[in-house]
Structure 1
């Protein structure tokens, strides 16, 4: 492979292995200066040592560590860094009583403005809630909501364990889990939310509650996909599973010679009635720097070189390079983070359809046409990624008490999740990229409906601000989420005072 091709291939890995996370609604999150000053003063009476203000080093550190440029450019009146659930309890009580608008941040790895930061309001930065404790038999791990997944994976790897969390190392433990959460080993373990045994959460009344299968069980289920509508999650207890070394990495293909083979192989792989649940796959259509490629990210949850599960892909023509090897979940997670630079503008969307090679080929044509709308922009990365949803994931959901995602029944050939991940350098280009993303999304939906394959599920962690993911969960789950939010938050604190995130 030439040096130029290697450079392109390395950039391509960012799209294939680090799909951005984020959910937020396009709301005016600004707060009057007088109100915000009073809110910060109210917090200072009890939590002064944990508050930071503009011009302080702690404040600057918090802002600079957001993944996206848009997250870094939002300036709250003050930032609270709690070190315990009690701190969060005190803060929520004060903020709710004062009708103060606030945001809640876990890892800050969101893609849309306002999800985890708030202009002139109060941002609660949970990153210091990062304690990680294994149970005596190592079957459970208690994780602070602000713990980064890269750190968590490393801690667990030393014990020969893992959880099915999201991919990039910088993602916070709670954010992606509250949206469902898919990662490197989900076919065998389900969504990240499916491995949650218990949530610790501060509700709008300031109470610290535990939500599990026996205690507040409705809240436990609602949090498994319901986002930030119910309170501030401060700790999560996950069920662990044994895994040490894995096999994985990326293979890149030239579209002209590879797209037909990749589309058919993806469809056959996903529809295999003997699907190997150790096998996880992403396929990405990718454009950057005037160059278009297709990337496959393979992960196999055992140290098996070239496992038979991916056999349909090995003979494909048009391969540019292959970087698969025996590796680890922490290494894959670190690579995802390193290949997706901080400080860029980010836009995502999500769509779901019945698995089909014909649709993947339709979408290649649509994706290729969409490039014209963004190709001239500085540092543009334009990626449309596909991920299988197979029966083993749904079996895991059912075995662990269910979630609210509405994916209880799959067609025999399985479903495909589609995600756009667009990154670019300048804030002034946001309208143009957003319009191009909207056009691409409409074209994808139209193409899948034309073939009778559209599915209403929208992955919360990749949804665009204009989408309505909760309605895609089905009417029964949507009504359940609304009634549960009303029960635990009758004053609608997390619907009105926390404007970021999708609301019920």
Structure 2
């Protein structure tokens, strides 16, 4: 009989029946009226560029332009009602892109509800769904011209309010239709749209005997994960997911399209590899494929009382096998009732690879997925039965430190007490996840054109958590465990000389400021790149959420 203990989550891959998958410095937006939001969020209509020239630039006909300009003039002459301004922006987008590409008020609830976390569900004034780069350009020009607020959604997997959703104060630019997955004839390069989901990417490439560094959660979108850096099972060997991008196709705030790579717009190429949503909208990622597709993996459940043994073993492994055999990596998730260790080796093996020798001494309660030679596609399939689809409220947070078993155990003890209390009070489930970062992962980034993350070139760890709960009234209590645990990591880490100021963007909560942790020199360079490619600071002033440089 398969063991399915309550509270078992693997990097967001939930084994709880009925529980969903779980991948700034601003707090959740307060509830306000639509009129109040519009009044404070929408700027005066654009008075600089002639409307006729603007209309021509987005492909409107003479008759369309004449009809819409009459409304434009009425708004300008009548005092520019913010709601009228937004309404006209949505109508112009619809005329330019077509009715099927713009869902106007009232927006269909199914489209609004596509965000993974209920903390991010918000009723946008309208949703624009471009199908290609040209339509993305038109959407950006419309949003910029009317100076309305906006949010960008690729997979919508952030739990941070405003990161991939916007309320009645703005337009949601939804990239789900830019979901291309195209493999080159020599199978060395794959072109991906930002709206593709990693599970589909891995499965599609698997049928062509190819694979790429991907998101470990199949439901996560391509765009957000890469722009935040991205961590994969093979990151120890090849670097972050962003480090394995050859070229970014980017729509800039002025509506032009550029390619950013090692030869063209090299500074933008560097900035996009973990710099977040600050520079443009990426409409295509050209990424390198991996040289092999076969891997070895195993997944096992351990008892609650084995936490300290697991943490001791993990720290020992990090400093030895994990720092020498870069094909080896772990899924390590401690829960409220039980724990999970997933062993992943990026090559086939006739038996358990010796790189995992320290874990031989731990006796699992159950081997959920036995030792298997397969692919990343088959690994995703193996965990698929344990991924229920119920939508809930989610949160996460991150922190990093040098390797130290005692620090791990002390913080785990602190976290476990509070996580149990929060579950008793709210029903929230929480995880305690450690992610291995060897020096080679950092070296790979340097060798592949660099990135802005500012990582130390020594073995360390990135901690994260996933919190799942149901009721909005429990938001503060559920989130407090993560916030308090991050503070404890920092306090104990600083006292012991183990704390690192890096916060992995893909795991950072709304109250965190990951870009500031990249180091002042990198922050200064990111701001320089932002001013160069976004002179109007469109992405800093009109975008409602995300880890923006203006807030770093």
Instruction: Measure the CA separation in 2 of the matches of 1:393 and 1:245.
Output: 21
* Cα RMSD, aligned residues only: 2.2
Q: Is the Cα contact below 8 Å between 2:147 and 2:542 reproduced in 1?
A: yes
Q: Cα distance 1:456–1:139, how it changes in 2: closer, same or farther (>3 A)?
A: same
Match of 2:225 among 170, 176, 179: 176
Q: Is the Cα contact below 8 Å between 1:20 and 1:111 reproduced in 2?
A: no
Match of 1:306 among 348, 352, 374: 352
Instruction: Measure the CA separation in 1 of the matches of 2:378 and 2:117.
Output: 22
Q: Is the Cα contact below 8 Å between 1:16 and 1:296 reproduced in 2?
A: no
Alignment of 1:279-428 (within 5 A): 279-287=328-336, 292-304=337-349, 305-317=351-363, 319-326=365-372, 327-333=374-380, 339=387, 341-377=389-425, 379-407=427-455, 409-411=456-458, 414-428=459-473
Match of 2:273 in 1: 224
| Higher RCO by CA contacts (8 Å cutoff, separation 6 or greater) | 1
SS in 1 for 2:413: helix
Instruction: Measure the CA separation in 2 of the matches of 1:283 and 1:405.
Output: 23
SS in 1 for 2:38: coil
Instruction: Measure the CA separation in 2 of the matches of 1:189 and 1:410.
Output: 14
Runs of 5+ consecutive residues of structure 1 not aligned to the other structure: none
2:86 is the alignment partner of 1:36: yes
Q: Cα distance 1:445–1:352, how it changes in 2: closer, same or farther (>3 A)?
A: same
Match of 1:45 among 95, 102, 109: 95
TM superposition score normalised by structure 1: 0.91
Match of 1:212 among 261, 264, 270: 261
Q: Aligned-pair distance for 1:12?
A: 3.2
Match of 1:459 in 2: 504
SS in 1 for 2:310: helix
SS in 1 for 2:505: coil
Q: Aligned-pair distance for 1:278?
A: 1.2
Instruction: Measure the CA separation in 2 of the matches of 1:184 and 1:379.
Output: 31
87-96 or 309-318, which moves further after superposition?
309-318
Summarize deviations over 1:29-83 as a string: whole Å, max 9, x none.
9435344323212312312321013456xx3332232211122x30101111101
Match of 1:265 in 2: 313
Q: Aligned-pair distance for 1:372?
A: 4.0
Instruction: Measure the CA separation in 1 of the matches of 2:84 and 2:218.
Output: 38
Match of 1:494 in 2: 539
Instruction: Measure the CA separation in 2 of the matches of 1:53 and 1:24.
Output: 31
Q: Is the Cα contact below 8 Å between 1:167 and 1:336 reproduced in 2?
A: no
SS in 2 for 1:138: coil
Instruction: Measure the CA separation in 1 of the matches of 2:364 and 2:194.
Output: 43
SS in 1 for 2:300: strand
Match of 2:490 in 1: 445
Q: Aligned-pair distance for 1:237?
A: 0.2
SS in 2 for 1:166: coil
Q: Aligned-pair distance for 1:330?
A: 2.1
TM superposition score normalised by structure 2: 0.84
Runs of 5+ consecutive residues of structure 2 not aligned to the other structure: 15-19, 31-36, 40-82
Summarize deviations over 1:131-157 as a string: whole Å, max 9, x none.
121122111111111111111111222
CA radius of gyration, larger in: 2
Aligned residues: 489
SS in 1 for 2:201: helix
SS in 2 for 1:241: coil
Q: Aligned-pair distance for 1:444?
A: 2.1
Match of 2:216 among 156, 164, 167: 167
Summarize deviations over 1:461-481 as a string: whole Å, max 9, x none.
111111111111111111111
Q: Is the Cα contact below 8 Å between 1:13 and 1:339 reproduced in 2?
A: no
Q: Aligned-pair distance for 1:321?
A: 4.1
Q: Aligned-pair distance for 1:322?
A: 4.3
